[in-house]
Amino acid sequence: MKVSVIVTTHNTERYLLKCMDSIFNQTLSDIEIIIADDASTDSTPQIATELAKTHENVLFLPLSTSLGPGGARNKALQQASGEYISFIDSDDWMDLNYLEVMYNKAQQLNADIVTCSLMREYDYITTSPVYKCKYDQDYVLSGEIAFRIMTNEYNYGIKFLPSALNKIYRKTFLTDNLLTFPEHIFFEDQPFSYSCTLAANRVVCVPQVVYHHYKRSGSIVQSFNQKNIDDMMTAYKMIKEYLQKNNIYKKFRFNYYSSLQHFYNLIVRQIFEFVPDEKSKKEYLKYSFIRLKEVIDIDEYIDFLSSEELRKHIQPNITDTTIY
């Protein structure tokens, strides 16, 4: 098989068929599809079972106990026989030539990772397309350069997302480097993307196709509870441990704090968007401050900040620093 497409599902009965149709109608032949269901309680397993019966290139892997999206992907990776691996969430979809373009570019340029533009899709009509990242030409990068772009150190006019979704990966690259996802947590893409990108020899960005990421109400990024905080801190503990284990933490300490700050800001935004009352907001913020101590060294973080950023932490409401 040229590509193994790993589809992770969890109570997505309303969306799975649209996702699968975008895969069944791909212009690339010789693909297999592995549906890894993370202990759904709706009719998703029945739909997946029927799809496996009627399509010989579909394998259904039901998990009786939830392992989270990362654990479901790991189970599917163990079964995958494709030369390359593609991940897709079951409420998303691909352009119909997505796999062909990505696979051919990987072959042409001997890439470990190929990525493409990612467009946000909503339940309502937007006035213009909303892209999380968009490429207007091919870019060929080393893993380290892609990592520095991903963690906001380099502003080279493009984005490289810490997501497994809008990418394909060489299977032997993943297995040779023992690259898997953390299980039982949200934010599973962050540790995976850090280690993958730093391990890659060649990363290619292509403009010809788009991954369509559906932002639906009730999804992980559209709701909030304490697990969001706990899992983000767990993810960044894992990232720090990976950097330290490979003796590159000092080299990439800036990148660690830059990415941590970005995703902590996401947590704060989620608190204010999805937590309704003032008391709960304060409790979640207090809890997040306590957990931050586990992943931040204060001296290191102060060194990371500019003097102006540090001032804004101390005086957030003061914009005019002129002394009259």
Is a pLDDT exceeding 70 seen at residue 321? no
Residue 36 forms beta bridges with which residues? 8, 61
Q: What is the DSSP string of 151-209?
A: TTS---S----S-STTEEEEHHHHHHTT----SS-S-THHHHHHHHHHH-S-EEEEEEE
Question: With pLDDT > 90 as the criterion, what percentage of the chain qualifies?
Answer: 88
- For the stretch 18-36, pLDDT in tens is 999 999 999 999 999 999 9
- For the stretch 114-135, pLDDT in tens is 999 999 999 888 889 999 999 9
Rounded Cα gap, residues 213 and 234, in angstroms: 25
- For the stretch 64-73, pLDDT in tens is 999 999 999 9
Supply the pLDDT for residue 181.
Answer: 98
Is a pLDDT exceeding 60 seen at residue 232? yes
Mean pLDDT, residues 100-104 taken together: 98
Least-confidence region, from 82-96, 119-133, 180-194, 213-227: 213-227
Is a pLDDT exceeding 80 seen at residue 319? no
Supply the pLDDT for residue 222.
Answer: 59
Rounded Cα gap, residues 288 and 323, in angstroms: 35
Return mean pLDDT, the chain. Answer: 94
Is a pLDDT exceeding 70 seen at residue 252? yes
Assign a CATH topology to domain 3-214: Spore Coat Polysaccharide Biosynthesis Protein SpsA; Chain A (3.90.550)
> Residue 261's closest CA among 317, 189, 309, 308?
309
Is a pLDDT exceeding 80 seen at residue 157? yes
The ranges assigned to domains in the chain are 3-214, 223-314
Question: With pLDDT > 70 as the criterion, what percentage of the chain qualifies?
Answer: 97
Supply the pLDDT for residue 318.
Answer: 74
